[in-house]
Amino acid sequence: MSAVCLFILILCFYGTARTAAGKAETDGYKVIQIKVGKQVTIQCKSASNQEMLYLKRGLNEEEDIFYLTDSKKSTINQKFTDRLQFHGQVPNVDILLKNLTLDDTGPYWCVYKMSSNYKLKTSRGNGSVLLVVTESGPAPVCTGQSQGDLVLVSVVICAAVLIVVLTVFLIWIIIKTKPLRSTVKKRQVPVNDVYEDMRGTIRR
């Protein structure tokens, strides 16, 4: 029983840790769900001066979608040549993706690069999105606020589960120990009948 409690406790902490980690990862971007054929605007921004902006796609930023320098030199991925428009200049650029398809689903990162001491310094900017393109349905936007609510709910659920498990465990211990107490017989002190007989004869 204690092993089960420990296992549930580990699961709760693991789930909470995963949720908190998910919140930390999504704090820098928002999740957007959009229907096929619609459009989305990715607003890349940075508080500091930058020289180059890359819009990258993929969990590991493996695909370059768009590139823009502070001298307004730009490059667009062939898949988006007819579907991508941009406005503004580095570091604040609005990137419009039109006629979205299911294949466009994925994380899009605003990545900035700037030369410092003859080296390129890379940093992520604000405005990155996790784009989910669907065939039908509404297009809600999830932000860090909903992630915070998810963390709170998961913590409350874990606490409730732990309280229930501990209560059941205590009841189980009480039930388990009661029969032991009732089955233990009181030890009777043996009476030596020989000595009692001798005392009786002496008195006579």
Query: pLDDT tens digits, residue range 5-48?
Result: 444 545 555 554 444 444 434 445 689 999 999 999 999 998 88
pLDDT exceeds 60 at position 112: yes
What pLDDT, on a 0 to 100 scale, did the predictor assign at position 24?
39
Q: What is the mean pLDDT of the chain?
A: 76
Domain housing 4: 1-27+142-165
Q: Does 61 fall in a domain?
A: yes
**Same-domain pairing of 66 and 126:** yes
β-pair type (29-35, 128-134):
parallel
pLDDT tens for 117-158 read 778 889 999 999 999 999 875 544 444 444 555 556 666 676
User: Do the domain assignments include residue 74?
Assistant: yes
Phi, psi of 35 (to 5 degrees): -75, 155
Q: What is the mean pLDDT of residues 81-94?
A: 93
